[in-house]
Structure 1
Amino acid sequence: MCTSPNIPERRKTPPLRGRLVKWEYTNAVSKITLSVCLADDGIVRVTYFTGPVPEDEPSYAVSPGYSAPGAEVREYDEAGVHVIETSLLRIRIRTEEQKVDFYDIVTDEPLLADEGGFGRESKDWTGDARVWIRKRLQDTEHFFGLGDKPCALNLRGKYFSMWGADHYDFHEESDPLYKSVPFFLSLREGKAYGLLFDNTCRSYFDFGASDEKVLAFGSFGGLMNYYFIYDRSPLDIVAAYTRLTGTPELPPLWALGYHQSKWSYYPDKAVYNLVERFRDLGIPCDAVHLDHHYMEQKEGFTWDRHNFPDAAGMVRSLEEDGVKTVLIVNPGVKINPANPVWAEGLERNYFCRRSEGNLLSEEVWPGLCNFPDFTAPAVRSWWADLFRHDLEEVGVRGLWNDMNEPVVFPDRTFPMDTRHEYDGMPCSHEKAHNIYGQCMAEASWLGMKRHAPDRRPFLLSRSGFAGLQRFAATWTGDNRSSWEHLKLANFQCQRLAASGISFAGADAGGFMGHPTPELFCRWMQMAAFHGLFRNHSSGEFGGQEPWVFGQEATAYVKAAIEGRYRLLPYIYTQFRRYAETGMPVLRSLALQCFRNRDTYWRGAEYFFGDHLYVIPIHEPQEGGRFLYIPEGVWYSYHTDSLMEDTGKDVWVKCPLSFLPVYVRGGAVIPHWPVQQHAGELPRPPLTLDVWWAPDEEVASHLYEDAGDGYAYRNGECAVHEFLYRGTGSHSLELAWKCEGDPCAFHESAEVVLHGLPAGIALSAHMDGVPCRGVARDGRVWRIPVEGKFETLSACWTEE
């Protein structure tokens, strides 16, 4: 084994850098110091340090790349109160009581105010301490976020724990679950704020469950350390939180395609046959995931030479067919002197130890294992280099981290006296548990960056903490093939997006059990509008490939997958915005329409990017249902039917062939033709579909690049902006601006107009020149584009 010398730096304290403005208030009796630190006009760090010397901690949540932009402040004193003002906030600090209250700068409305304030309780016999804070809970306040909690979206009146746990066959009230993302949003009467509790110990959030007048949160150890985040809308707050905790890299285009997975596909003949069946049926697929049966006796970093005699040849063959290979990797390293990974880890003292110095040894899939301490930079670097063979020589394109809550058999975690380096501040597992999986994800991500430097990494991690999106996509864990779990998957993916993690999905169709054809269709239709589109199941219940549920189901599922591939330029554009600004891809109805309090209790509906509105079906045989249509101009994405009633509930038919999906009038939705895998067509023809809205003005975007690699960072990309203007009942205009070569990534383009009146004669001009080839095609009008235009105008008269 060989470890590269470039060991990652330790996380540093304080976690925030940049143009910071900071105040400290120390109580002479308790020796507690309250620290208030402004990162920008709307982000405030509040920390309570105990003891005579304030000692900060490294942050696993705040991105090392975040640099605070700072804020212009005005400050003054009132009776016993120090007041700090920014362009967004008025912060009143009751200095003697060490309480912090936040107000809107314009209206002076209270946003979040201390009730009981900060509290701390020590255990004399151990020196451990529990810390908490109590805030006033306002009557009209509602809460969202907290990662992968499987309950309804609105958290008001509920209590939750943060302690990563493998909850096999979880249900609506299961808590805790795989991920610990201690960030929530508050929505109230057109106001919103976010709060990140940056503490890795076991923690809790009480949204009025114990006392309907009190919002409380705390932890069983560590610092009371939270970030208050304020902006003008919930989506802007989520974006700010995501920038604070780190935006992800733009994923490779293929990773946004369809993934097929099962526990497990083996031997190699089964994998070849799987891919051949996809191609024979013309069903698009970009990735196959191999569970741990590809390994020798389930030992990581090995291949079963009997079942996979030529792993590199198989991976190369799949790649030639447009299919990428993704491998599962678990943290446990089998105790096996013949295995060089275990031998080197032992020699370098990279495995976790108990409080008395003995190695932590527990059973997982390979048998008795030791476990790397991923909280140590040297261990993360060593782990990264273990992927050299699979990434450089075998040609694997993605990694899949599982069992990293961490979990050991039977269904428990490490003993609490397990020791961890914690980036230079050694601690027990009580403090490191919630970030163990994220540190493993960071180490695996580093391996991909180091050993496949010309490719963008694709990594899945089941567990994580705030900031997981910096390293990995995620899925919702071991679900079941049931209508209840379809609904929970909808809630969880929306909640993860509101918690900064848009590249998320569920095991479509369910991991355990076997879905009915109807359930499978509905789940796959929904998953086509999630960040991650992966069908994963346990083989003990039978196959769950797209073709196993009969001809009708196969046709509908194929159509859903093909729809995903037609939408790839739109999805890729939304992910580019997410990577650049932190704006979530999935947007719950309540977050988008937050001024409408009636939306706070709705959970089925969500926005997919800027202009699509998706309503999954949660019940069997639901041929029609009432659903909420937002205000504005909306069309059926599938039929072009104009929704006559908006801003209210309407009844719609829900045929099994497709989900209710709506598109905003005036939107420009880019489409490609169906491809069997992303990149099958090097420069796919581009269709710009536009839906008429007589009096609207709507901005839309398109981002294009090579789909992988980093040439886009050197300007090899095209950033398009479209501005639609409805100019009356008989005309429209479309302006097109572009940074970069507008035709570099598509061979041709056309504009397709939807929703125009029947029985018209249409003429169009591009930059004042009459368009040639304008033609009606059923219910749409097609306008060929030669190169690029600056302004397209269309007008029509009744025939």
Structure 2
Amino acid sequence: MLISKEYQVHGSDFTFFSSHENMILRVINDSIINVRTEKATDTITTKNLKREEANIDIYSSDEGFELKTSKMLVRIDKETLKLSFFDHMGNVINQDHPKNLEKQHASFCYKTLKENEQFFGCGEQVGFLNQRGKKIQFWNYAEPKHFNAISNEMYQSIPFFISKENEMVYGLYFDNSFRSFFDFGTESSEYYSIGAEDGELNYYIIYGANIKEVLEHFTNLTGKSPLPPLWSLGYHQSKWSYFPEKRVYEVAKTFREKNIPCDSIHLDIDYMDNYKIFSFNKERFPNPKNMFHDLNELGYKMIAIVDPGVKMETGYDVYEQGKSNGYFCKNPDGSDFIGDVWPGGCAFPDFANQEVRSWWADLNKKFLEQGIRGIWNDLNEPSILVEPHTMSRDVIHRSIDGDRTHAEIHNLYANYEAMATLEGWEKFDESTRPFLLSRAGFAGIQKYAAVWTGDNTSSWDSLLISIPMFMNLGLSGIPFVGADVGGYAGECSEELLIRWMQLGAFTPLFRNHTRKEVRDQEPWAYSEKGENIMRKFIQLRYRLLPYFYTAFRETHEKGYPLFRPMIFNFENEVNTHNISDQFMIGDSLLVAPIYLPGQDYRAVYLPEGTWYDYWNNKKYNGGQYIVAKASLETMPLFVKSGAVIPEFPVMNYVGEKEINELKFNVYMGSGEYIYYEDDGASKEYLEQKYNKRKITVDSRDKEVFITVSPIFSGFESKVSTYRFTLNGIHSVSSIYLNDKNLNFIQKDNLVEFSTSAEEKIKIKITI
């Protein structure tokens, strides 16, 4: 350790001293620097943070210090410890504002607000894509009327944002789990602020050349989503509630009879015995294990809700175990905290305690042994049904770091529960990928569970609001997101459900869910016309599963979202920066949902380049707005030129058909695509049992070359045939595969031909 009068060095930690306060800069790697007070503690997200070796130099002068890595330069004022961050060219990334000297609380920090600075991310937020001009609170909360344009507290708290000002991009992650605040210029046009009601200052500055790089760095810090089971990317049907078992069978069989794909049915709280978790109502579900087996034979993977509240009832085994072992959260006087949820008075497991998490894991294991294939964690903000709607802030949690109050643990509670649930799954089945769904979460929840955006309403406003909400969740490291399709509260019109189903077919989590007091929302619950339209879009989702799944592989590797704002793919094009009502799936599919009643047309911005209408292959020049037709039967959908879109045959559920033929939709232009495949179910992909194939499209004046070449081969694929569909081409004179003439079919605006699925393929098309 190097110690001077003004600073000390311990490895890559630098502590600076002043008469005002002491401050620590931790160099995590060349692109990430952690700023913290001496008393700051880490949340579970960063507690076991792995650092990378960085090139660090430090210099001292009369005015202050310079800390330099290969990517960043930090200047520290010797008297005030004011921080200024620069890139290697000397451009300002971020700097403290003089108001820092006036701050009243150790956790607050004021930053200079640049004139054209935009802010993206902050997790689950209501409003448009850019957060500038908003004040945001991070406190997981379930208030029934929250889902409107002025909501300020949501189910999930992700205190992270990405800033973009002209060419400069950086991220800031505030690692403080107390109720926190970001003010993006409402108090002043000169500064923005971050802070919390308690705890210490602890934030990370993350520098990157672009938004993609910043997000990859952030997810290296907080964790990346594992690959989900392929079936979980299919369609989910839910309601509060499907019961008795006769009704569950009826819904399941109707999907199959009507050839509407569905992979999962969710069971809400009414499957339980008097709302006691890990129990079944014996009258409604006399033999759940048999029911789950029967439904699995039909291709369904059943998902059951599990709330954290444990009914306070003598003789109830879960309550008795928790009570006798001291596993519940405590009031300051040592008694168990009790809050009213569905069963009435409930105790709440202290998930911050590893022993409690292991107990909870065992309860989940026994539950999964019944035949359930997914766990849905609800009310885990944690939520109480009466004021103040959550635990008192002085409730005590016993973590590995000692006693903590609920004020500190509240935002982390859902993450801890998800950790326990995942542990239970791994005790039940180490080899199969889990599917966990959580309503609440903090940064890092993506390592454990998918999330949905909670109790929305059956309204056009809720439909529109969900689009930028998904975008900002994705820009906060959370890729597996969805909303209750059709809306949870209120009556959904047929038109609204159709439009929401069209959007849902392109959200990572595709789940239809609603309350018990309103009409059913199954695809056949309205008219035959509506049923046919919804079937069409659910089937489209199933055809596109390999495209979604390949995109999820990139998510797993780099932290990129599936559901992307336009700025993510086209950052250098200013017109894309604040578009909140259209989005990209992966690199190539542009989706423009309809979110107003009676809307038959809408404006769509096509970025620079060439684009094809997915439905008719009409060609458009980009860099402009167009007016796209959008009758009720369709939704504007465009494909970038040079794209390759893999497709499966239509199936009623994942695994119904063995995939022997894989279709590649090729759109004329030049580009490349990495196709990914594995078994879609096991964890063997972590042992490199997967395949990656690079497909390159090179379009010239009178010739098109398509090549397929292996990047990695570790999985025995069952695909024996590739079927290529060339979109946007009028006529072809010949097609050669490795110098062998191929037969082809030519019709309208496309050409089709097949080849054997060899590892290396070179196709020459003469126009």
Q: Which residue of 2 aligns with 1:227?
A: 204
Aligned counterparts of 2:578 and 2:756: Cα–Cα separation in 1? 48
Aligned counterparts of 1:267 and 1:119: Cα–Cα separation in 2? 63
Aligned counterparts of 1:354 and 1:118: Cα–Cα separation in 2? 36
Q: Which residue of 2 aligns with 1:70?
A: 53
Gapped runs of 5+ residues in structure 2?
A: 1-9
Classify 1:156/1:329 alpha carbon distance in 2 versus 1 (closer, same or farther; 3 Å): same
Aligned counterparts of 1:338 and 1:718: Cα–Cα separation in 2? 53
Q: Is the 8 A contact 2:422 2:448 kept in 1?
A: yes
Instruction: Identify the match of residue 57 of structure 1 among 41, 60, 71.
Output: 41
Instruction: Identify the match of residue 728 of structure 2 among 755, 779, 787.
Output: 755
Instruction: Identify the match of residue 14 of structure 2 among 23, 28, 43.
Output: 23
1:5-25 deviation per Cα after TM superposition (whole angstroms, max 9, x unaligned) = xxxxxxxxxxxxxx9722110
Classify 1:119/1:521 alpha carbon distance in 2 versus 1 (closer, same or farther; 3 Å): farther
Q: Which residue of 1 aligns with 2:391?
A: 414
Report the 3-state secondary structure (helix = DSSP H, G, I; strand = E; otherwise coil) of the residue aligned with 1:237.
helix
Q: Which amino acid is the alignment partner of residue 46 of structure 2?
A: V
Q: Is the 8 A contact 1:686 1:748 kept in 2?
A: yes
1:608-665 deviation per Cα after TM superposition (whole angstroms, max 9, x unaligned) = 1121111111211111121210111211122211113x11212111122222111111
Classify 1:139/1:691 alpha carbon distance in 2 versus 1 (closer, same or farther; 3 Å): same
| 1:722 and 2:695 aligned | yes
Instruction: Identify the match of residue 793 of structure 1 among 757, 763, 767.
Output: 763
Q: Is the 8 A contact 1:20 1:70 kept in 2?
A: no
Instruction: Identify the match of residue 599 of structure 1 among 576, 581, 588.
Output: 576
Trace 1:390-405 onto structure 2 (pairs within 5 A). 390-392=367-369, 394-405=370-381
Aligned counterparts of 1:234 and 1:63: Cα–Cα separation in 2? 25
Aligned counterparts of 1:60 and 1:461: Cα–Cα separation in 2? 17
Give the share of equivalent positions with the same residue, in percent: 34
Instruction: Identify the match of residue 456 of structure 1 among 410, 433, 438.
Output: 433
Trace 1:149-228 onto structure 2 (pairs within 5 A). 149-169=125-145, 170-228=147-205
Trace 1:309-458 onto structure 2 (pairs within 5 A). 309-392=286-369, 394-411=370-387, 412-458=389-435
Q: Which residue of 1 aligns with 2:738?
A: 767
Instruction: Identify the match of residue 558 of structure 1 among 535, 550, 564.
Output: 535
**CA positional deviation for 1:592:** 2.6
Normalising by the residue count of structure 1, what TM-score does the alignment of the two structures yield? 0.92
Q: Is the 8 A contact 2:330 2:337 kept in 1?
A: yes
| 1:704 and 2:677 aligned | yes
Q: Which amino acid is the alignment partner of residue 148 of structure 2?
A: H
Classify 1:764/1:95 alpha carbon distance in 2 versus 1 (closer, same or farther; 3 Å): farther
| 1:110 and 2:92 aligned | yes
1:153-187 deviation per Cα after TM superposition (whole angstroms, max 9, x unaligned) = 11111101011100224211111111110001111
Q: CA RMSD in A?
A: 1.8
Q: Which residue of 1 aligns with 2:749?
A: 779
Report the 3-state secondary structure (helix = DSSP H, G, I; strand = E; otherwise coil) of the residue aligned with 1:131.
coil
| 1:531 and 2:531 aligned | no
Aligned counterparts of 1:449 and 1:789: Cα–Cα separation in 2? 35
State how many pairs are aligned.
756
Report the 3-state secondary structure (helix = DSSP H, G, I; strand = E; otherwise coil) of the residue aligned with 1:640.
coil
Report the 3-state secondary structure (helix = DSSP H, G, I; strand = E; otherwise coil) of the residue aligned with 2:617.
coil
**CA positional deviation for 1:348:** 0.8
Q: Is the 8 A contact 1:159 1:205 kept in 2?
A: yes
Aligned counterparts of 1:439 and 1:148: Cα–Cα separation in 2? 19
Q: Is the 8 A contact 2:106 2:200 kept in 1?
A: no
Deviates more, 1:76-85 or 1:340-349: 76-85
1:581-622 deviation per Cα after TM superposition (whole angstroms, max 9, x unaligned) = 212212111233223333333201111112111111121111
Q: Which amino acid is the alignment partner of residue 383 of structure 2?
A: V
Q: Which residue of 2 aligns with 1:136?
A: 112
Trace 1:634-649 onto structure 2 (pairs within 5 A). 634-644=611-621, 646-649=622-625
Aligned counterparts of 2:72 and 2:725: Cα–Cα separation in 1? 46
Instruction: Identify the match of residue 247 of structure 1 among 221, 224, 245.
Output: 224
**CA positional deviation for 1:722:** 1.5
1:2-49 deviation per Cα after TM superposition (whole angstroms, max 9, x unaligned) = xxxxxxxxxxxxxxxxx972211022x34x321111112211111122
Gapped runs of 5+ residues in structure 1?
A: 1-18, 50-54, 123-128
1:487-523 deviation per Cα after TM superposition (whole angstroms, max 9, x unaligned) = 0111211111111111000000100112221111111
Q: Which amino acid is the alignment partner of residue 278 of structure 1?
A: F
Q: Is the 8 A contact 2:702 2:766 kept in 1?
A: no
Report the 3-state secondary structure (helix = DSSP H, G, I; strand = E; otherwise coil) of the residue aligned with 2:97.
strand
Deviates more, 1:335-344 or 1:67-76: 67-76
1:245-302 deviation per Cα after TM superposition (whole angstroms, max 9, x unaligned) = 0112110001110000000000000000001000000000000000010000011010
Classify 1:63/1:779 alpha carbon distance in 2 versus 1 (closer, same or farther; 3 Å): farther
Q: Which residue of 2 aligns with 1:654?
A: 630
Q: Which amino acid is the alignment partner of residue 523 of structure 1?
A: W
**CA positional deviation for 1:570:** 0.8
Report the 3-state secondary structure (helix = DSSP H, G, I; strand = E; otherwise coil) of the residue aligned with 2:484.
coil
Q: Is the 8 A contact 1:236 1:583 kept in 2?
A: no
Normalising by the residue count of structure 2, what TM-score does the alignment of the two structures yield? 0.96
Q: Is the 8 A contact 1:178 1:405 kept in 2?
A: yes
Q: Is the 8 A contact 1:701 1:722 kept in 2?
A: yes
Aligned counterparts of 1:689 and 1:582: Cα–Cα separation in 2? 26
Trace 1:262-273 onto structure 2 (pairs within 5 A). 262-273=239-250
Report the 3-state secondary structure (helix = DSSP H, G, I; strand = E; otherwise coil) of the residue aligned with 2:26.
strand
**CA positional deviation for 1:112:** 0.8
Report the 3-state secondary structure (helix = DSSP H, G, I; strand = E; otherwise coil) of the residue aligned with 2:265.
strand
Report the 3-state secondary structure (helix = DSSP H, G, I; strand = E; otherwise coil) of the residue aligned with 1:177.
coil
Aligned counterparts of 2:42 and 2:112: Cα–Cα separation in 1? 29
Classify 1:102/1:665 alpha carbon distance in 2 versus 1 (closer, same or farther; 3 Å): same
**CA positional deviation for 1:368:** 0.7
Q: Which amino acid is the alignment partner of residue 440 of structure 1?
A: E
1:112-162 deviation per Cα after TM superposition (whole angstroms, max 9, x unaligned) = 11003656877xxxxxx5520000000000111111111111111110101
Aligned counterparts of 2:365 and 2:110: Cα–Cα separation in 1? 49
**CA positional deviation for 1:566:** 0.3
Instruction: Identify the match of residue 496 of structure 2 among 519, 529, 540.
Output: 519
Q: Is the 8 A contact 1:99 1:117 kept in 2?
A: no
Q: Is the 8 A contact 1:250 1:579 kept in 2?
A: yes
Aligned counterparts of 1:37 and 1:147: Cα–Cα separation in 2? 25
Aligned counterparts of 1:708 and 1:33: Cα–Cα separation in 2? 50
